[in-house]
Amino acid sequence: MSFDEEWASARTHAQADVSMRLNQVPADPGGGSGNADLGVDQDKLGAIGSAAYALHGRLVKDGSHARTTTTEAATSLSTHGFLTGSAMATVQETWGSQLSTLLDACANISNHLDYSAASHAKEEADIQAALAASQINEYLK
């Protein structure tokens, strides 16, 4: 088969496979309601921030309550030649590192939500002031 014959065959198949195409934007795959307004529920943000703050406080108080006794036990076991001592020390170090990471995450969540609530309140006040100024401007024309 020559190139011209293959090309003609390919065009024929392409034309036969054409279906109707609509020139439109596809439907929203997210299933949104169409309302694009940003809504922030200050009570919910406050509750989440408060829970993160409370968890941080509990973790500071209770997260390392066994640190001293675990370290003493690991030292004592290692001194007496037990391999469990070094394993216990490793567990204590890992727990301390993970506790520190969790404390940082809780503090970050609490601080970020406090900032978000204040930031959204300021933006809302700025928008209200801008709208009030634009309405005054209409009366001055």
What confidence tens digit (pLDDT) does each residue in 52-62 have?
889 999 999 88
71: which 2 tokens? 């370290």
Cα angle 119, 123, 129 (rounded to 5 degrees) comes to 145
Domain that holds residue 44: 40-140
pTM over 0.75: no
What confidence tens digit (pLDDT) does each residue in 66-120 have?
888 999 999 999 999 999 999 999 999 999 999 999 999 998 888 887 777 777 7
Domain for residue 50, yes or no?
yes
> How far apart (Å, rounded) are the C-alpha atoms in residues 141 and 137?
7
37: which 2 tokens? 């307004």
Domain for residue 2, yes or no?
no
Count of the separate structural domains present in the chain:
1
DSSP-based helix, strand, coil % in the chain, nearest 5: 75, 0, 25
Domain for residue 57, yes or no?
yes
